[in-house]
Amino acid sequence: MSVTSAAAGRDEVPARLWDRLRISTKQVIWAWGFLAVPILFFTVVRFYPTAQAFYLSVTDWDLLREANFVGLENYRTMFADPLFWQVFRNTFAYLLVGTPLSIVISFAIAYYLDRVVILHGFIRALYFLPYLTTAAAMAWVWRWFYQPPPIGVINDLLIFLGLPTQPFLRSVDQGLYAIMATGIWAHLGFQIIIFLAGLRAIPTSYYEAARVDGLGELAVLGRITLPLLKPTTVFLVVFSSIGFLRIFDQVYNMTSNDPGGPLNSTKPLVLMIYQTAFSSYQMGYAAAQTVVLFTILLTISMAQLWILRSR
């Protein structure tokens, strides 16, 4: 302290200024000092590129030549392109079928797994395992599962059961769902773990009270378990929706001979963006598609948070 006052005597303004600050102000400064690092990071690697993407979407940049401002031309091209609308429908098929299915399945598994005592940890680990695997590797394994005979495991099983074989990935009707199944399976482990944590967090006294009151199994599920799991469910629905809206790895790896095919029947928006940008080098057009994806993601996330908000 004496050192500081000596320094103060020699008119060292910064030290005096710092000393004159109140503790709470100092805390705020420290907090912002630490926060500055992630803020800077987000500004440079997130917000700036986002802003840049918005700008690019109104240019005709192709990586090679200078970007020219073209107004809303890219958006006009996109909305007039039947491929865009097909990809749009595909993306929503992944979302609207994939998310509810994955939530219902993972809840059902978690609900019953919660009651399993023997080998509980082991079974849980088994379900979680796919989540640890690289999506690309998993996609290739499933790609082989779906092969026509003589190498496709699923088709061999169908033959064994005396059922007709299915084209799966070579079909315009089945391809999307075949890939979606992989996506659901991949995220099942994560969702089960979160649901389990949610289930365990519900105080047992509620269940005991319900039992005393003579409530049946279904009533307990509908009146206690599900309502109290709402925050968990909201989180998983949002998380899973974003996942399905951004599905790419599975599709790209399972259809790499004809990405998003056959006949674009499995192509999601992200794959279309990827191809527009890195096969055709139409960066401006790809940025416009990205803006659309961004808008969809934002709207859906906001809407879900609002719909499932706690009152």
Partner 1 sequence: MRKSLLGLRRAVSNLCALAAGAACLAIAAVSPAQAVEIQYWQYLFDSRVQAMTLLIKEFEAENPGITVKQVTFPYADYQTRIVAAKAGGRGPDVVQLFYGWLDNFIAGRLIQPLSKERFPAAQVEKDFFPIVSAMKYRDEYYGLPTAVRTMAMFYNKDLFQQAGLDPEKPPKTLSEFTAAAKAIAKRDAAGNYQTVGVAMDISRQDHNWWREMLVRQFGGEPYSADGSKVTYNSEGGRKALEFYTGLQTQQKVSQEGFMDEGQAAFRAGLAGMVIDGTFRIASFKTITTFKWGVAELPASDDGIRSNFGSYFANAIGASATGEKLAAAEKFLAFITSEKAMNVWLDKVGELPARRTVAMTEKNLADPVYGPFIRGLDYSHTTLFVDEAAQRQVAIDMINGVLLKNQPAAEALAAAVPKEQRIIDARKVK
Distance of closest approach, residue 160 Cβ to partner 1, in angstroms: 12
CB count, 10 Å around CB of 302? 11
Distance of closest approach, residue 292 Cβ to partner 1, in angstroms: 21
Residue 203 is encoded by which pair of tokens? 């105080």
Angle between helices 135-145 and 153-160 (to 10 degrees): 30
The nearer residue to partner 1, 47 or 278, going by C-beta atoms, is 278
Half-sphere exposure of 246 (CA within 13 A, CB side): 13
**Backbone phi, psi, residue 59, to 5°:** -125, 175
The nearer residue to partner 1, 1 or 80, going by C-beta atoms, is 80
Distance of closest approach, residue 71 Cβ to partner 1, in angstroms: 19
- Which candidate, 185, 182, 193, places its Cα nearest to that of 113? 193
The nearer residue to partner 1, 243 or 260, going by C-beta atoms, is 260
- Which candidate, 226, 267, 243, places its Cα nearest to that of 131? 243
How many angstroms separate the CA atoms of 81 and 65, rounded?
Answer: 24
- Which candidate, 231, 225, 223, 220, places its Cα nearest to that of 202? 225
Tokens 């919660």 belong to which residue?
114
Angle at the Cα of 69 (from 65 to 72), degrees rounded to 5?
A: 125
Distance of closest approach, residue 97 Cβ to partner 1, in angstroms: 21
The nearer residue to partner 1, 171 or 301, going by C-beta atoms, is 171
3 state SS of 117 = coil
Distance of closest approach, residue 244 Cβ to partner 1, in angstroms: 25
The nearer residue to partner 1, 71 or 164, going by C-beta atoms, is 164
CB neighbours of 259 closer than 8 A, spacing ≥ 6?
251, 252, 267, 271, 275
Do 108 and 191 meet the contact criterion of CB atoms below 8 Å apart? no
Distance of closest approach, residue 231 Cβ to partner 1, in angstroms: 42
Distance of closest approach, residue 262 Cβ to partner 1, in angstroms: 5
The nearer residue to partner 1, 159 or 308, going by C-beta atoms, is 159
Cis peptide bond N-terminal to 150, omega within 30: yes
| Site residues (vs partner 1, CB under 8 A) | 62-65, 143-144, 147-151, 155, 159, 164-165, 167, 169-172, 257-258, 261-264, 278-281
The nearer residue to partner 1, 62 or 114, going by C-beta atoms, is 62
